[in-house]
């Protein structure tokens, strides 16, 4: 129910149950751990077969195997999560697939599958959650894991980058339409993150190219992305919506002279000072 125009609608308290898609993956599980550490009950859904096992390591964790691109399966997983842990107030879409191929070699099936998992599933999930939150009159937090690839083109990222660009706009759209109900919608856009998957798909040349372009001169860590998600899901982020938070070591701000700045810093940096986070 909306306000009358002169008085903003005041939603009920934010339920402290989170649902995370892709929760059994390296980055998704780091997000689940961080949300659990903040006192949230966490339901994780993933296409992998070890979801329940990983969820069992969390306090008040609940896990379900689900192909998020299957509307019926996603609807069942959402309903079972509510039954198991109570009303959901935080929804994080971290599930995603990456395909790397030149545009001229990208087949339509790969493009469609990438869009279905990265964008279509987000649409279905956030619509389920949004309708639920509005019906209950409760506050909500919707967060998508997008990517710098959704804003800047990268070689071979036609399907992946296009899907992430669409996801960024989807969150902007949700912030507009769901904001009057007390529901925020934001994106977290990581740069390259050091995960088992990235170590597998990034060639040495790609990795070196990233590091030359990132002012901090390194890949990000899973926990650094998880902290950003936890902030946007927290009560402290009540007035933040429609935003894309880049967790990228300065990549999106970089222009000419990154390598020169890195070289100058190397000369001036005191001996023994670490560049990597503690």
Distances (CA, A) of 197 to 9, 96, 183, 202, 212: 43, 12, 32, 8, 21
Catalytic positions are 160
Provide the CATH number for the domain around residue 211.
Answer: 3.40.50.720
Residues spanned by the domain of 64:
17-268
Task: Answer whether residue 2 is part of any domain.
Answer: no
Distances (CA, A) of 55 to 122, 149, 256: 21, 30, 44
pLDDT of residue 32: 97
The tens digit of pLDDT for each residue in 226-269 reads 999 999 999 999 999 999 999 999 999 876 556 666 676 766 76
Q: What is the overall mean pLDDT for the chain?
A: 90
Minimal CA–CA distance to 159: which of 89, 101, 211?
101
CA dihedral over 105, 110, 116, 117, signed as positive or negative: negative
Per the structure, the count of domains in the chain is 1
**Residue ranges in the chain whose pLDDT is less than 50:** 1-2, 276-278
Task: Answer whether residue 1 is part of any domain.
Answer: no
Task: Answer whether residue 212 is part of any domain.
Answer: yes
Task: Answer whether residue 202 is part of any domain.
Answer: yes
pLDDT of residue 275: 54
Task: Answer whether residue 56 is part of any domain.
Answer: yes
| Secondary structure of residue 99 in the 3-state scheme | coil
- The tokens for 137 are 């009159």
Task: Answer whether residue 12 is part of any domain.
Answer: no
The tens digit of pLDDT for each residue in 192-235 reads 898 877 877 778 888 888 888 898 889 889 999 999 999 999 99
Task: Answer whether residue 249 is part of any domain.
Answer: yes
Distance, in Å, from the CA atom of 86 to the CA atom of 82, rounded to the nearest integer, reads 5
Task: Answer whether residue 9 is part of any domain.
Answer: no
């Amino acid at each position: 129910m909306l306000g009358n125009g002169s008085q903003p609608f005041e939603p009920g308290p934010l339920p402290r149950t989170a649902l995370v898609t892709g929760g059994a993956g390296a980055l998704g599980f780091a997000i689940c751990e961080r949300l659990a550490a903040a006192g949230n009950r966490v339901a994780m859904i993933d296409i992998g077969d070890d979801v329940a096992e990983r969820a069992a390591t969390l306090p008040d964790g609940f896990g379900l195997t689900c192909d998020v691109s299957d509307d019926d399966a996603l609807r069942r997983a959402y309903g079972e999560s509510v039954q198991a842990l109570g009303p959901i107030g935080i929804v994080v879409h971290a599930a995603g697939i990456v395909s790397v191929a030149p545009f001229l070699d990208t087949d339509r099936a790969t493009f469609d599958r990438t869009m279905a998992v990265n964008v279509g599933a987000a649409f279905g999930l956030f619509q389920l959650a949004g309708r639920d939150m509005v019906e209950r009159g409760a506050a909500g937090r919707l967060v998508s894991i997008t990517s710098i690839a959704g804003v800047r083109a990268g070689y071979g990222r036609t399907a992946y980058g296009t899907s992430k660009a669409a996801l960024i706009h989807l969150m902007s759209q949700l912030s507009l339409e769901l904001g009057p109900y007390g529901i925020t919608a934001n994106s977290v856009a990581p740069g390259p993150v050091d995960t088992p998957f990235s170590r597998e798909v990034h060639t040495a040349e790609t990795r070196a190219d990233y590091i030359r372009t990132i002012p901090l001169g390194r890949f990000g860590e899973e926990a650094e992305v998880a902290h950003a998600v936890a902030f946007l899901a927290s009560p402290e982020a009540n007035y933040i919506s429609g935003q894309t938070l880049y967790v990228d070591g300065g990549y999106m701000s970089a222009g000419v002279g990154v390598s020169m700045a890195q070289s100058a810093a190397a000369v001036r940096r005191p001996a023994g000072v670490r560049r990597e986070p503690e």
